[in-house]
Structure 1
């Protein structure tokens, strides 16, 4: 059996080479994980394609095509699925978007996988071989990350990425932020791999540097402490995702440092306390951000601080204020996005109830387009303000001012910042407001062909 697993490209990669440089890309873990789950008794030829770095040949001679889908890539995924299905090839769709809104994906596939696929994907493959594949497979309530096969990271085109040493110890998050897809797709109970499995996976890979893609590696404080303790003997350096609550746990922070942590992505989200309460992330306190940054830098941990614009508390001055904040506080790698009400989330339901959604063209749900009517600014003010914040933070002044405070290695700091400077300078080319004609905050204006197409979905 010939199996093709692919990840479709989103707007970032519409142009050849994409908007991101290689220094900002790490190898995806999803497709190699799915590959590891193919039952050993099924004879197969496997091909993996990440359309962010490779083209998808629509004449590929597959028997079964599996596509992982996030909301921003859904239209492209549906397009690819249609091309293969027109040739009589069966297509399976899964991933976050399918889990959030399965009924949206169902018409575009022969089968869909809702939830995590560790149990359902092997079951689907056995059913396919037997000629009995069902239209939908749903994650079982007793799902566990224990006793899973080791992922073969050599399946990814490693030369196309900065690193393929990508790992996970946990999935999920205990928090219920209004805009986050995680609690609405998978619930708020985190899943955990046995720590000995995580350690053995890293050891077997030979990694000296690792990236943990856990959405909140400190979601369970006891588990995090035990994980950090177990990482210490490996003598690796690692980067991952956390929350600001790490600053309130000095013992855990020290363990984090001793385990080799050299960089964390933390969702700061806003410099407005009111805006944070609005999206159920009130445990963040902007007044304490400078102290958090100082604590991390004093321990050799660089910070990627992420912010969203377009909260109902935001006014047109939020962009300049936020950009200046990240420069003056010395955030090593700031990142900005437009808050997006992804389908299935509480924010989506609220925006829909308030009549504020402007389009259901999922390709625009990418964090850099406005898909709802803002409360205190126009659509164009929000899109243009977001881009202005990127340009200001990654101006030469912004890069060099933040460099004075960084604890990252000079080469790493410059590579990442120059990569994001390239991104910031090309936003106008890669993202346009063409789909939205008109900028009146009180009116959607004519939504043009794209929005009409999206509304029809």
Structure 2
């Protein structure tokens, strides 16, 4: 059996090497994990294609082709899937977008997988081998990542020279919070799934890198698990980077432990400086934290901050852009990042904006956090788009970079290089993202079809 697994390119990589070029991409875990889950008894030949770094053959020699789909890559995914199916190939789709809108995805596939795939993907392959492929495979209600037979990702199947790093790891999945715009609770629920700490440590030891990246949505969601993991990391003497909520500000002991475990950078979802905006996003818990104080505490522990903000919340006015940029400079955020509020399908935000007739398009390729796809409350779509671009350019102008890094005391080459990379991004945002796409039809909401989830024979919703 020959299996081809594809991660289609999104808008950022519609140009061959993307905005940053190949060298600043980290190796994704999805395809290498799926490759590791292929049952040994099938003796399958597996090929992996990350379209962000390589071209995908138009005529693949494969018996089964699997594509993983996020919303921003859905259009490209369906294009490839339809092309391969027209050639008589069997096509399987999975990933968060498929889980959120399974009926839409099913129209482009012979089978779809909703939810996490550790159980369903091997079963699908066995069924295909036996000639009894089903149309739908759903994550089991008793799904768990605490299992003795869990294989390690096949990182070796990609060329390490194509990525900034292959040392990408995952200890947990999903998050306990229910932010209105977040895909995770809508796709996978709020229960956090955890891998055994011993398994995570073994995986890190196997790779042997001294700088690693955790891609977990919220490493500190379960404080007890986080303490066990961070304690186990200390003897490895590594430097790691990951994601957290700002609630770590309320646990000084955990902050100290994070630093001792080797953490040198955290991505924080700051979202907005406005408490009304935090309420809009169902993220009131952020309001309990003094952002400036937390950033200062992290810098004192030699932990860099990648602070992420969202523009377009209902409380935002045109003042939000300059205010946020100034805050990022004054507090010395090492790497500020700005995104536009995006109502991904299946999320509460999408449902609300649809009911309010504020969605402007269902072109999923524009659902990438860098396009205005809805009518803002207190500004025009054009004002939101141009303000967003202006904020990127302002926070990454040379004087702003110097002031931020001086405040953060971050002069190592990695910090400077990352800032220069984002400066390039900021000054090419308009060209690469085509931010004027909507300006000829500003304020003209569209009539949207309903999105009905697929149902099983027992009439229960999957995904």
Partner of 1:239: helix, strand, or coil?
strand
Give 2:184's aligned residue.
182
- Contact 1:113-1:120 at 8 Å conserved across structures: yes
Deviations 1:110-164, CA, capped at 9 Å, x for gaps: 0000000000000000000011110110000111112311112111221111100
Distance 2:88 2:23 in 1: 39
Give 2:55's aligned residue.
55
- Contact 1:23-1:415 at 8 Å conserved across structures: no
Distance 2:449 2:415 in 1: 42
Distance 1:245 1:287 in 2: 7
Call closer, same or farther: CA 1:373–1:352 in 2, change over 3 Å: same
Give 2:329's aligned residue.
327
In the alignment, structure 1 residue 421 sits paired with structure 2 residue 435:
no
Call closer, same or farther: CA 1:239–1:407 in 2, change over 3 Å: farther
> Superposition pairs for residues 127-276 of structure 1, below 5 Å?
127-146=127-146, 147=148, 148-276=150-278
Distance 2:436 2:180 in 1: 28
Call closer, same or farther: CA 1:241–1:407 in 2, change over 3 Å: farther
Aligned-pair CA distance for 1:281: 0.4
Cα RMSD, aligned residues only: 1.7
The size of the alignment, in residue pairs, is: 449
> Superposition pairs for residues 12-411 of structure 1, below 5 Å?
12-22=12-22, 24-146=24-146, 147=148, 148-285=150-287, 288-408=290-410, 410-411=412-413
Give 2:455's aligned residue.
none
Give 1:436's aligned residue.
438
Moved more, 13-22 or 384-393: 13-22
Q: Which runs of 5+ in 2 are unaligned?
A: 452-463
Distance 2:111 2:409 in 1: 48
Distance 1:286 1:266 in 2: 14
Runs of 4+ aligned residues of structure 1 deviating over 4 Å after TM superposition are: 451-455
**Structure 1 length-normalised TM:** 0.95
Distance 1:142 1:35 in 2: 23
Distance 2:29 2:410 in 1: 25
Deviations 1:8-45, CA, capped at 9 Å, x for gaps: 01110111210124453210000000000000001121
Q: Which runs of 5+ in 1 are unaligned?
A: none
Aligned-pair CA distance for 1:406: 2.7
Distance 1:278 1:63 in 2: 47
- Contact 2:382-2:439 at 8 Å conserved across structures: no
Aligned-pair CA distance for 1:170: 0.4
Moved more, 342-351 or 287-296: 287-296
Partner of 2:41: helix, strand, or coil?
coil
Call closer, same or farther: CA 1:287–1:245 in 2, change over 3 Å: closer
Distance 2:439 2:259 in 1: 50
Distance 2:241 2:395 in 1: 22
